[in-house]
């Protein structure tokens, strides 16, 4: 089976072509949702298979520095595992990092999860924003303290720009608190358009980061 991915002029489409036919089983409509999300009637309760052809691999960055951040990140990791058409395949350790930008706030707890998902990038972002709200996220100002921050870091090898959604995440290659947990669970990661995550991490080695046991 051959997987095709097209990225043109701010739009994206994926398709899967079976050998010997041009049968398209999954494609995005104009609002970025999969046209046919789970072929053969798969659903979470019937059991997701990570190798199923309609699943994508996304890496999600998690961060919190309010209201018991360790519990917030742990709860969010569990919630990711219960997202529709999704399961967490790998989760990093928790890390403690110093705040960036606005410095007069508590340290952050960070982690990265590898998600196998049938959701499109836009549907995944909507689901992450809903999880943030469920865990009391408010947006008072840029870089403000937060109960939960969820970012799509990578989605397959996609390079994608649309209003409110950029993949790879535009700051991920500059942040040790993203790169170190990512490398812990996926040491060979590439950041499309940038280079290897390992090379990016070497550029961030002066940023303070503590891995929690
Ligand atoms: P923040 O929570 O402050 O990191 O910003 C969240 C906003 O960034 C969301 O409302 C998204 O519209 C936008 N955004 C753009 N690209 C991404 C991405 N790759 N992952 C998460 N949010 C993104």
Q: Which of 65, 125, 152 to mutate to test the pocket of ligand 1 (most atoms within 8 A of CB)?
A: 125
**Looking at residues 52-60, what average pLDDT do you find?**
87
Report the percentage of the chain scoring pLDDT > 70: 75
Q: Please indicate, yes or no, if residue 92 is contained in any of the structural domains.
A: yes
Q: Please indicate, yes or no, if residue 73 is contained in any of the structural domains.
A: yes
Annotation marks residue 211 as catalytic: no
Q: Please indicate, yes or no, if residue 4 is contained in any of the structural domains.
A: no
Residues whose CB falls within 8 Å of the CB of residue 209, separated by 6 or more in sequence, listed in order: 95, 96, 97, 176, 177, 180
- The CATH number for 129's domain is 3.30.70.560
Nearest CA owner, ligand 1 atom 9? 164
Cα torsion 164, 151, 185, 84 to 10°: value is -90
Q: Please indicate, yes or no, if residue 130 is contained in any of the structural domains.
A: yes
Q: Please indicate, yes or no, if residue 98 is contained in any of the structural domains.
A: yes
CA angle 76, 79, 83 (to 5 degrees): 135
Q: Is the pLDDT of residue 32 over 80?
A: no
| pLDDT at residue 193, as a whole number | 97
Query: How many domains does the chain contain in total?
Result: 1
Domain that holds residue 184: 56-211
Q: Distance between CA 59 and CA 200 in Å, rounded? A: 16
Question: Which one is catalytic: 91, 122, 137, 175?
Answer: 137
pLDDT band with cut points at 50, 70 and 90 for residue 104: confident
pLDDT band with cut points at 50, 70 and 90 for residue 52: low
Token look-up 């947990």 returns 181
pLDDT digits (tens, 9 = 90+) for 135-146: 987 777 787 788
> Are residues 42 and 5 in contact, defined by beta-carbon separation less than 8 angstroms?
no
The verdict on the CB of residue 151 being under 6 Å from ligand 1 is yes
The DSSP bridge partners found for residue 190 are 196
Q: Is the pLDDT of residue 18 over 70?
A: no
pLDDT digits (tens, 9 = 90+) for 106-138: 899 999 999 999 999 999 999 999 999 999 877
Q: Please indicate, yes or no, if residue 2 is contained in any of the structural domains.
A: no
Residue 149: left if φ>0, alpha if ψ -120 to 50, beta else—which one? Answer: beta
Q: Please indicate, yes or no, if residue 3 is contained in any of the structural domains.
A: no
Q: Please indicate, yes or no, if residue 91 is contained in any of the structural domains.
A: yes
Annotation marks residue 137 as catalytic: yes
pLDDT digits (tens, 9 = 90+) for 77-97: 999 999 999 999 999 999 999
pTM of model > 0.85:
no
């Amino acid at each position: 089976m051959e997987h095709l991915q097209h990225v043109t002029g701010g739009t994206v489409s994926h398709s899967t072509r079976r050998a010997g036919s041009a049968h398209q089983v999954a494609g995005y409509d104009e609002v970025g949702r999969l046209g046919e999300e789970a072929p053969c009637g798969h659903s979470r309760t019937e059991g997701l298979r990570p190798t199923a052809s309609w699943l994508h691999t996304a890496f999600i960055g998690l961060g919190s520095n309010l209201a018991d951040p360790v519990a917030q990140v742990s709860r969010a990791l569990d919630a990711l595992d219960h997202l529709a058409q999704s399961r967490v395949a790998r989760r990093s350790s928790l890390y403690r990092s110093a705040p960036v930008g606005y410095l007069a706030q508590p340290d952050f707890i960070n982690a990265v999860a590898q998600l196998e998902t049938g959701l499109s990038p836009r549907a995944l972002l909507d689901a992450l924003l809903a999880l943030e709200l469920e865990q009391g996220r408010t947006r008072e100002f840029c870089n403000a303290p937060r109960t939960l921050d969820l970012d799509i870091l990578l989605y397959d090898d996609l390079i994608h720009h649309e209003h409110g959604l950029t993949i790879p995440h535009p700051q991920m290659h500059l942040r040790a608190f993203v790169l170190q947990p990512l490398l812990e669970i996926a040491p060979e990661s590439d950041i499309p358009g940038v280079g290897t995550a390992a090379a990016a991490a070497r550029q961030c080695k002066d940023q303070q980061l503590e891995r929690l046991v």
